[in-house]
A and B are shown apart, each in its own frame.
Chain A
Amino acid sequence: EAQVTQNPRYLITVTGKKLTVTCSQNMNHEYMSWYRQDPGLGLRQIYYSMNVEVTDKGDVPEGYKVSRKEKRNFPLILESPSPNQTSLYFCASSAGTGGQPQHFGDGTRLSIL
């Protein structure tokens, strides 16, 4: 079954404690992206990747890092999480370099205390 898998689904942690949210897709998609969703703001793009070792900033990259060492995986790293990063996070992938329909994971709800 074609899917995008995120882990964990829920996480409560404290300020400053490094965390990684994993994202994996089994569709051999080139394009992957991370979004955060906050009430009233819709989805905002954090980082995207057009292929292995090719990543770039979206609209809200501050406080986040990503890597794309393998085509299927695109982890989101919060080196020193802060409360303003409390949000619902989605990973998505699409075929080609972008502009194609995106397939979303089920989301990760992060609470930073």
Chain B
Amino acid sequence: GQQVMQIPQYQHVQEGEDFTTYCNSSTTLSNIQWYKQRPGGHPVFLIQLVKSGEVKKQKRLTFQFGEAKKNSSLHITATQTTDVGTYFCAETWGYQKVTFGTGTKLQVIP
């Protein structure tokens, strides 16, 4: 099946610092979705990117889809303790199967 590599696996930041997680694929991604999972919770959809080079923003979160559609990133500016959780990217291919990245666990130190 498809493989989506996500780095880093863990990230500890001081509150107020920026944070970025990356998803990479060896093949062209048809789309990329980003989810956030709070500790003890379930994944919650954040955004979907479809077009090459697409950039979308949600307040302090910036999502990018690479020009070649082989990578994507999520950048959080000035992290807050409410940003704590695990961030996953996911690709739906063939409008059927879904492949998730392994996730990046973010810890924010107050």
A residues whose Cβ falls under 8 Å from a Cβ of B: 33, 35, 40-45, 48, 50, 56, 58-59, 90, 92, 96-99, 101-107
Contact = CB atoms under 8 A, between A and B. Distances in A.
A90 B43 contact: yes
B42 A101 contact: no
Interface residues of B, number: 26
A97 B95 contact: yes
B1 A42 contact: no
A106 B43 CA distance: 9
B33 interface: yes
A99 B92 contact: yes
Contacts of B88: 42-43
A42 B6 contact: yes
Interface of B: 1, 6, 9, 30-31, 33, 35, 41-45, 48, 88, 90, 92, 94-103
B45 A98 contact: no
A106 B95 contact: no
A48 to B, nearest CB: 6
Contact of B98 (A50, A98, A105, A106): A98
Contacts of B103: 42
Given A42-B103, A101-B33, A50 B96 contact: yes
A59 B99 contact: yes
Nearest to B47: A101
B1 to A, nearest CB: 5
Contacts of B45: 101-103
Given A43-B100, A50-B96, A102-B35, 11 more contacts: A40-B9, A42-B101, A59-B99, A92-B43, A98-B92, A102-B43, A102-B45, A102-B98, A104-B43, A105-B42, A107-B42
